[in-house]
Amino acid sequence: MTAIKCTASKNCFGGEVKFFQHFSSSCNCDMNFSIFLPQGANSEDPLPVLYWLSGLECTEKNFMEKAGAQRYAAEHNLVIVAPDTSPRGCNIEGEDDSWDFGSSAGFYVNATEAKWKKHYNMYDYVVKELPDIITKNFPVSGKKSISGHSMGGHGAMMIALRNPEEYCSVSAFAPICAPSLCPWGEKALSGYLGSDKNTWKLYDSNSLVETATVKIDILIEMGANDPFLDRELYLDTFHETCQKNEYPLVANIREGYDHSYYFVASFIENHIEYHATRLNPTC
């Protein structure tokens, strides 16, 4: 069993938020994650898990400290797990040079480029390694859902689209819907995966919708005042692709809201309820 070390613990809405560090076999370095355990969580009555993937420049702390999700997770007896957004301190040349690539910007892919592939395997970490660690160390059931923000929204949708049998539900706040088409995505996908755009499609929700055979409902929250809406997020393109392929999508455009955690905190209750309904009692 992977050894995990608790680095901090805080009481929160009757439960606890805990922060952990462990060595990751996927990323070949120490990785961090946070977890919210509602009051009374115990092995006799294991609870479902919502995995939250954060965005560019974030860590395992941002969501737990800013979104206020624990209040609603406590009401629904839901565990929340939030991993860091990339490996760190791997001594890769240039890993800290850019805010939108390298440290804090793993994009939830398995890198294939020589410089990055030893450490930047966030897809395997989130899909395989971390759930195994959570299952073996905490009182959780096999039921899980996934959500995220911005780059993490991209990660949540992409992971659910590739593994629809594994997740009861998926949602996203301001996700990068078509990373192959936007500057953030082009930079990350070419850097981690090289120039073959066929490989990019494996990590592009817009492309994955076109080939999906098993479908899972997607809920998206988007701020109408998001400065990245047209240049980076490509919601209109994604919506058209979903319509063309009869893929179930609900996209809420919230007037006056932007890309920040003020936006996330304003609507996180709706998303916790959305996931809790699908996780409890059946999935």
Catalytic residues: 150, 226, 259
Place of tokens 């629809």: 164
User: Residue 43, Cα to own-chain centre: how many angstroms?
Assistant: 26
Q: d(Cα 166, Cα 169) in Å, to the nearest integer? A: 9
Q: d(Cα 82, Cα 73) in Å, to the nearest integer? A: 13
C-alpha dist (Å) from residue 55 to 15, 139, 233: 25, 27, 13
Length of the chain: 283
What is the helix (H) or strand (E) element at residue 53, kind and residue range? strand 47-53
Specify whether the CB–CB gap between 226 and 258 falls below 8 A. yes
